[in-house]
A = this chain, B = another copy of it.
Amino acid sequence: MKGRVRHPIITLSTDFGLVDSYVAQMKGAILAACPVATIVDVTHAIARHDAVGGAFAVERALAAFPRGTVHVVVVDPGVGTTRRLLLVKVRGQTVLCPDNGLITWAWRRFPHAAAYELTWRPRNPSATFHGRDILAPVAAAIANGTSTRRFAPRKCDPQLLDLDVAPNDARVGQIVHIDTYGNATTNVPEAALEGVTAVRIGKQRIGLYRTYGDVPLGKALGLIGSSGLLEIAIREGSAADVLRLKVGTPVQLVR
C-alpha cells in the first residue's frame, strides 16, 4: 500500500462479544490516532478462542472490502505469552492478527499473500489486551499512511490450520462454517462441482440447485452460496439442525 487512503476503513473481528466495552476500547485507541477512520465490525461473536471461525470471518471480510482496508482480528488465547503477531498483505489489504492460524482461510483462498512478523510494541502495553494496545494503534498508523515496514520488517511463514480448499477433482469436501440460519458452507469451490450431480452426507442424498426457492419448504439442497462455495441448506429451515452438520462433517461429491 503506497501513500494515504483518503477514507481509510478498519474492520474488527473478535471473540469479545458485545456486552463489555472491549470493542469500544479498541475503537477509542484507533480514533485517537486516526480520527477519519471508518471502523466496521465484522463480528464480535467468534466462539471464544475459535481460530477456525475467526479464519472464516477474516476471509469473508477480505472478499467484501476495497483495497487499502485494514482488518484487525483478535482471537488470542496466547495474549501476553511469546506467541507472534502477524501483519499480512493480501488483495491490496492488510490483516493484523495473532499468529495462531487465523490467517489460514484467507491464505488458502487468495493468491499472493505475504506475511510479516509484527514486532512493533508500544512502551507500556497491558499484558492482556494487545488488541487495544498494539493492533489498534498499528491499524490506525497504517490507515494514516505509515509504511507497514516500520511495524513488521521481516517476512515470515504464518502458522496454518489443517484446513484447505477442496481440489477440482475432489471426491469429498467438508463443512467449514455454519451460519446463524443453520446453512453450512463447505470447502468446495464452484470449480470442483463440474460433473457433480448431487452430494451425499451420511446416507442422505442432496440435489444441487441455484437458490433456496427452487425446492419446496423444508427440503434440503446444495447450492453455490454467496461465498462462491458449495453450501448445504434447507429452505426456511436449519440444515445444521436437521442434518446434524458440524464444522468438519464430510460431504461426498457424487459424480
Chain A residues within CB distance 8 Å of chain B: 6-7, 9, 11, 13, 16-25, 27-29, 31-32, 35-36, 38-45, 48-49, 57, 60-61, 63-66, 69, 77-81, 126-129, 132-133, 179-181, 210-214, 223-226, 231, 236
Q: A20-B179, A60-B21, A236-B77 are in contact. Are A28 and B66 (CB under 8 A)?
A: yes
Question: A210–B132 contact, CB under 8 A?
Answer: no
The count of identical subunits is 3
Q: List 6 A-B contacts (CB under 8 A).
A: A16-B180, A22-B226, A28-B64, A80-B212, A128-B225, A132-B226
Q: A25-B60, A43-B19, A81-B211 are in contact. Are A31 and B223 (CB under 8 A)?
A: no
Question: B224–A127 contact, CB under 8 A?
Answer: yes
How far, in whole Å, are A28 and B58 apart by their CA atoms in the complex?
13
How far, in whole Å, are A39 and B11 apart by their CA atoms in the complex?
13
Q: 6 shortest A-B CB distances, which residue pairs?
A: A80-B211, A28-B64, A81-B213, A129-B226, A7-B35, A127-B211
How far, in whole Å, are A69 and B27 apart by their CA atoms in the complex?
12
How far, in whole Å, are A22 and B210 apart by their CA atoms in the complex?
19
Report the minimum CB–CB distance from A34 to chain B (whole Å). 9
Question: B64–A226 contact, CB under 8 A?
Answer: no
Report the minimum CB–CB distance from A97 to chain B (whole Å). 15
How far, in whole Å, are A210 and B171 apart by their CA atoms in the complex?
49
